[in-house]
Amino acid sequence: MNVLVIGANGQIGKHLVEQLAQEDKHQVTAMIRKPEQADALKKLGAQVVIGDLEGTVDELAEAMKDQNAIVFTAGSGGSTGPDKTLLIDLDGAVKTMEAAAKQNISRYILVSAYGADQRSKWPEEIKPYYVAKHFADRALFASDLNYTIIRPGGLKNEPGTGKVAVGTDLKPGSIAREDVARVIAASLQEEKTYRMAFDLIAGDHAVSDALGKL
């Protein structure tokens, strides 16, 4: 498959690009906003395309040309305000869904957040972030795309273990970003994840085994 990673310059995105390139099963393309980010991602094994989540749907569709699957792992980041969260994490995500449909790309993986489906779990201090994730998830549910929505717990920068827990009502937990990337890569062609949304935290099962039990 030709896989486009949106948010490839982020921490999960870089892990995913590197893992997909090393697996050598898929051709990975990194969508970036700034040309100066290209060299580092090319060194990880990706092709590069320029795209802006604040651009138009048609521009995003053009960036997706010749792709078979889309992974959205972009985010506005913790240093921006609620306005950018809505523009990137919500509207940016929805525009990429519309762009994928325009290009007849059906496979779409969205990295959401643990608890995004349950308002009672939203921390008050970052509630706009959860609003964005919640409604991006809902837009994807309502689409005709062959989606997978992954809702990781607290994200850590430590090395991954390759052992995870997945499910639809997991207790709160955390997970290494490297392992989130592993789950994304494994989900691309795992039919048990098709049109599914699930929580993800560190656990006791190998990624393939955990996904196979969904």
The first and second tokens of residue 117, run together, are 């489906």
- Token couple for 76: 């506005």
**Which helix (H) or strand (E) segment is 50 a member of?**
strand 47-50
Mean pLDDT value across residues 127-152: 97
Q: How confident is the model at residue 149 (pLDDT cuts 50, 70, 90)?
A: very high
Q: What is the pTM of this model?
A: 0.96
Percent of the chain at pLDDT exceeding 90: 95
Q: 129 catalytic, yes or no?
A: yes
pLDDT score for 169:
87
Per-domain residue ranges of the chain:
2-152
**pLDDT score of 79 more than 80:** no
- Beta carbons within 8 Å of 158's beta carbon, 6+ residues apart: 176
- Structure tokens that stand for 160 in this block: 């991954």
> pLDDT value at position 190?
97
Q: What is the pLDDT of residues 63-72, one digit of tens each?
A: 999 999 999 9
Q: Which CATH architecture best describes the domain 2-152?
A: 3-Layer(aba) Sandwich (3.40)
Tokens of 52: 């802006």
CA dist 15 → 18, 36, 75 (Å): 5, 19, 15
Q: Which of 108, 129, 130, 147 is catalytic?
A: 129
- Measured CA to CA in angstroms, residue 208 lies from 17, 24, 77, 181, 199 at distances of 19, 17, 30, 13, 15
